[in-house]
C-alpha cells in the first residue's frame, strides 16, 4: 500500500485535511456555544480519520469514524442536550491573567515541540509499512496478529476496562427513588384539593373575526376572560380590548343563524 515516501496525492490530502483539522480544533476552542464546539471537533475527527487512512492505517481510520464521530461525539451532543445548550461559559477569570498565560504557554509549547521535532525528524528517512503489512497478508491481519499475540493480556484488560466504565456510568447517573411513586389518582386528588382551576384554561380568541392569541375568550355573560390570554401577554398587559358593539353584533349573528337552523 503505502511506501515510506509521500507521493504528490498524499501531500495534497495532507495539506487539505490537515488544514481542516486545525481549523476545526481552533474553532472548538474559540466558539462560544458548546454545540458549535462539538460540531467543530467532529470536523477535526473526520479529517483525522482521513489522515489515518492516508497514513497507511485504514483500520484505524474506520475505527476513528465509528468510535469518535459515531459514538463519542454523539455522547457529547447528548450530554449537551441534558445539561442545556445555552449553559455558556462564564467570562470571569478566577485567576488573574490566566487566559493570557495559558495562550502564551500553548504557543510556546507548540513552538518547542515543532522546533524539536523539526530538528530531530526532518532528516530521517521513512521505512513504510509495506513489509510489515505483507508479513501477515494485510494491515488488518497484521494488527490482529499483534493484538491477539503479544498484546493479548492488554486486549483482555481493555474488556474489563470497558465493562467497569459502563458500570461506573450507570452507578454515577443512577438516582434512588426516596418516595413511593405517586399514582394518577393521587395526582388528580392533589390537583382538585389545591382549589386552583382544575381543567384546561379557555382558549383565546373565540371570535369569528378575530382569532389572534391576544383576543380574550368571551364568557357566557359576554365579558372577556383574562385567563384565556397566554401568560407572557398577560404580564405585558398586551390584551386586545373587546368592543361591546362587536359582541352584540356577534350575538346577533348567532341568534340569526340559530333562527335559520330552526326554520329548516
Partner 1 sequence: MNPANYVLLSAVLFSIGAIGVLVRRNAIIVFMSVELMLNAANLAFVAFARMNGNLNGQVVAFFVMVVAAAEVVVGLAIIVTIFRTRRSASIDEPNLLKY
- Give residues 114-143 in contact with partner 1 (rule: CB under 8 A): 114, 117-118, 121-122, 124, 126-133, 139, 142-143
What residues are paired with 224 via a beta bridge? 218
Give the cell for residue 54. Answer: 492516508
Give the separation between CA 106 and CA 173, rounded to whole angstroms: 35
Nearer residue to partner 1 within complex by CB, 161 or 255? 161
Whichever of 56 and 242 has its CB closer to partner 1, that residue is 56
Q: Which of 77, 74, 55 is nearest to 65 (CA)?
A: 74
Neighbouring residues of 205: CB distance < 8 A, sequence distance ≥ 6: 211, 212, 213, 214, 215, 216, 217, 228
Q: How far is the CB of 18 from partner 1 (least distance, A)?
A: 5
Interface with partner 1 in residues 166-225 (CB under 8 A): 166, 168-169, 172-173, 175
Among 88, 211, 252, 258, binds partner 1 (CB under 8 A): 88
The upper half-sphere exposure of residue 224, i.e. CA atoms within 13 Å in the direction of its Cβ, equals 17
Nine-digit cell at 121?
A: 525528524
**Cα 156 versus chain centre, distance:** 33
Is residue 142 classed exposed, middle or buried when 0-12, 13-18 and 19+ CB atoms within 10 A define those classes? middle
Q: Which of 37, 69, 215, 228 binds partner 1 (CB under 8 A)?
A: 37
Question: Minimal distance in Å, beta carbon 179 to partner 1?
Answer: 18
Residues 54-83 touching partner 1, rule: CB under 8 A, are 55-57, 59-60, 63-64, 67-68, 71-72, 75-76, 79-80, 82-83
For 6, the grid coordinates are 509521500
Contact letters for partner 1, residues 219-258 (x by CB under 8 A): ----------------------------------------
Minimum gap (Å) between residue 50 Cβ and partner 1:
11
The residue among 29 and 227 lying less far from partner 1, judged by its C-beta, is 29
Q: Cell numbers 474488556 label which residue?
A: 159
Segment lying near partner 1 (by CB under 8 A), choices 104-112, 182-190, 199-207, 249-257: 104-112
| Number of residues engaging partner 1 in binding (CB under 8 A) | 88
Note whether 4 and 34 are within 8 A (CB).
no
Q: For residues 224 and 246, is the Cβ–Cβ distance under 8 A?
A: no
45 or 229: CB nearest partner 1 = 45
Candidates 15-23, 176-184, 217-225, 239-247: pick the segment binding partner 1 (CB under 8 A): 15-23
**Which of the ranges 47-55, 199-207, 218-226, 250-258 carries the binding residues for partner 1, by CB under 8 A?**
47-55
In sequence order, what are the residues at sequence separation of 6 or more whose Cβ sits closer than 8 angstroms to the Cβ of residue 206?
Answer: 217, 218
Amino acid at each position: 500500500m503505502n511506501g515510506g515516501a509521500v507521493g504528490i496525492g498524499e501531500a495534497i490530502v495532507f495539506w487539505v485535511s490537515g488544514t481542516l483539522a486545525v481549523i476545526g480544533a481552533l474553532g472548538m476552542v474559540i466558539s462560544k456555544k458548546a454545540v458549535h464546539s462539538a460540531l467543530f471537533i467532529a470536523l477535526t475527527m473526520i479529517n483525522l480519520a482521513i489522515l489515518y487512512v492516508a497514513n497507511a492505517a485504514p483500520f484505524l481510520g474506520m475505527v476513528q469514524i465509528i468510535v469518535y464521530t459515531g459514538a463519542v461525539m454523539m455522547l457529547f451532543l447528548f450530554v449537551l442536550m441534558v445539561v442545556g445548550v445555552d449553559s455558556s461559559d462564564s467570562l470571569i477569570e478566577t485567576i488573574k491573567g490566566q487566559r493570557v498565560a495559558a495562550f502564551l504557554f500553548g504557543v510556546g509549547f507548540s513552538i518547542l515541540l515543532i522546533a524539536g521535532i523539526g530538528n530531530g525528524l526532518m532528516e530521517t528517512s521513512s521505512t513504510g509499512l509495506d513489509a510489515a503489512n505483507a508479513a501477515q497478508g494485510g494491515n488488518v491481519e497484521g494488527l490482529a496478529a499483534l493484538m491477539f499475540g503479544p498484546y493479548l493480556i492488554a486486549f483482555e484488560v481493555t474488556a474489563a476496562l470497558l465493562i467497569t466504565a459502563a458500570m461506573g456510568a450507570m452507578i454515577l447517573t443512577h438516582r434512588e427513588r426516596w418516595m413511593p411513586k405517586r399514582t394518577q389518582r393521587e395526582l388528580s386528588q392533589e390537583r382538585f384539593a389545591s382549589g386552583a382551576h382544575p381543567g384546561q384554561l379557555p382558549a383565546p380568541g373565540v371570535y369569528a373575526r378575530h382569532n389572534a392569541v391576544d383576543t380574550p375568550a368571551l364568557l357566557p355573560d359576554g365579558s372577556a376572560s383574562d385567563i384565556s390570554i397566554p401568560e407572557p401577554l398577560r404580564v405585558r398587559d398586551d390584551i386586545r380590548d373587546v368592543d361591546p358593539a362587536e359582541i352584540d353584533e356577534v350575538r346577533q349573528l348567532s341568534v340569526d343563524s340559530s333562527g335559520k337552523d330552526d326554520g329548516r
